[in-house]
Amino acid sequence: MARLALERAMPAAWVDEMFETHRQRQYPRELLFSTVVELMSLVSLGLRPSLHAAARQMDHLPVSLAALYDKVRRTEPPLLRALVQGSAQRLEPVVSALGTAPCLPGWQVRIIDGNHLPASEKRLAPLRNQRAAALPGHSLVVYDPDLDLVTDLAVCEDAYESERTGVLPLLDSARPGQLWMADRHFCTRTILQSLQQGRADFIVRQDARHPRIVHEGPWHDRGRVETGQVLEQDIRLDEGQAPWRRIELRLDRPTESGESVLWLWSNLPATIDARQIADLYRRRWRIEGMFQRLESVLQSEIRSLGHPRAALLGFAVAVLACNLLAVLKRSVEQAHREQ
């Protein structure tokens, strides 16, 4: 089943087609991009300890190791995004056919969060005299918790680039019928208004320095949920703007950081009550479980790759493998659901 899924989900012809469509300055000669992805997938799956080992054990590598590493170091970020998007589009009909219980019927849920790659063992030449190891970069991931698939990816070669800036290209895919959830780091006027302009709904935790509010309505008690008491009020960022909703959750037990009150912003319609919004936000932690699988089950953090584009390619291939793993898990679950 795993071999069939691999052949159907990431065939070499499709990978090379994506490369030809989305490449910018790269070009294929002796080494096809599908070969690079195949070698990197062996490392991500833990079948080879490094890209060097995978290449040395390949029967017919058409180029030298130096040429292979040069190809990997020149992988362009838009190509990685196209691969992840295409992977999700190919696998989504399969997972949907296996059946799933949606978080919110009638909406496609999207959870967005960032992931920073750890410091690399391999130093870039200008940093070899420094004590600190090099940070290869970070990525921003859009995750569908209903299908357990990563649907979009933005990679940043600068490890210190703000996630609030890097997330903006991902918001272009927001559309009606989607519900986007994010942590308080993404509670900015620009991000929320971008989602609003895409006519998507959102649930975002309020930041300590949240956007300035020009109007606050009275608080209304909305009852209890499993974790505490829920209140709600209307807010506006600009005069004449349609009101958004602010949900206050007074926790029965403080969080690990000692917080006893959480505030959530949302533009969901009134048909979704405040208690349901508070419960929905708890689903945001599913993306943390996905990141944990990327690190522990798969080798998404390849410390032997120090060049940013090479390390980010390794992470993107691990995301492709994680999407495939989700299909296999859902298939096994479907076969044993009655038991």
Terminal alpha carbon distance of the chain: 21
pLDDT at 162 over 90: no
Kind and range of the H or E run holding 41: helix 33-44
- Give the mean model confidence (pLDDT) for residues 127-156: 82
- Measured at the CA of 194, the angle between CA 190 and CA 196, to 5 degrees, comes to 120
- Give the mean model confidence (pLDDT) for residues 75-81: 92
Distance CA 313, CA 69 (A): 12
Rounded percentage of the chain residues whose pLDDT exceeds 90: 49
pLDDT at 165 over 80: yes
* pLDDT tens per residue across span 182-217: 999 999 999 999 999 999 999 999 988 778 888 999
Distance CA 177, CA 5 (A): 29
Q: Quote the pLDDT of residue 132.
A: 56
pLDDT at 119 over 80: no
Distance CA 184, CA 288 (A): 15
Q: Quote the pLDDT of residue 6.
A: 82
pLDDT at 43 over 80: yes
The CA-atom distances, in angstroms, between 89 and each of 33, 96, 198 are 20, 11, 20
Residue-averaged pLDDT of the chain: 88
125 pLDDT tier (thresholds 50, 70, 90): low
Q: Quote the pLDDT of residue 129.
A: 60
Q: Quote the pLDDT of residue 58.
A: 87
Helix (H, G, I), strand (E, B) or coil at 140: strand
Helix (H, G, I), strand (E, B) or coil at 261: strand
Task: Give the range with max mean pLDDT: 75-79, 134-138, 292-296.
Answer: 75-79
Of how many residues is the chain composed? 339
Kind and range of the H or E run holding 332: helix 308-335
Q: Quote the pLDDT of residue 307.
A: 81
- Measured at the CA of 144, the angle between CA 204 and CA 38, to 5 degrees, comes to 130
The CA-atom distances, in angstroms, between 165 and each of 7, 169, 178, 186, 200 are 36, 9, 21, 10, 19
Token digits for 188? 């900015």
Contact assessment for residue 217 and residue 235, using Cβ atoms and an 8 Å cutoff:
yes
Residues 6+ apart with CB under 8 A from 51: 39, 40, 43, 68, 69, 72, 302, 304, 305, 310, 314
Query: In the chain, how many H helices and how many E strands?
Result: 11, 10
Helix (H, G, I), strand (E, B) or coil at 114: strand
Helix (H, G, I), strand (E, B) or coil at 168: helix
More confident site: 84 or 294: 84
- Give the mean model confidence (pLDDT) for residues 142-147: 94
Q: What is the pTM of this model?
A: 0.89
Contact assessment for residue 218 and residue 276, using Cβ atoms and an 8 Å cutoff:
no
Contact assessment for residue 328 and residue 94, using Cβ atoms and an 8 Å cutoff:
no
Q: Taking Cα atoms as reference points, which of 295, 304, 192, 293 lies closest to residue 237?
A: 192
Distance CA 120, CA 117 (A): 8
Q: Provide φ and ψ at 231, rounded to 5°.
A: -125, 160
* pLDDT tens per residue across span 9-26: 889 999 999 999 988 887
- Give the mean model confidence (pLDDT) for residues 141-151: 94
Kind and range of the H or E run holding 228: strand 228-236
Q: Quote the pLDDT of residue 126.
A: 63
Between strands 215-216 and 228-236, the pairing is: antiparallel
pLDDT at 60 over 90: no
Half-sphere exposure at residue 134, Cβ-oriented, CA atoms within 13 angstroms: 22
Distance CA 208, CA 307 (A): 35
Contact assessment for residue 234 and residue 217, using Cβ atoms and an 8 Å cutoff:
yes
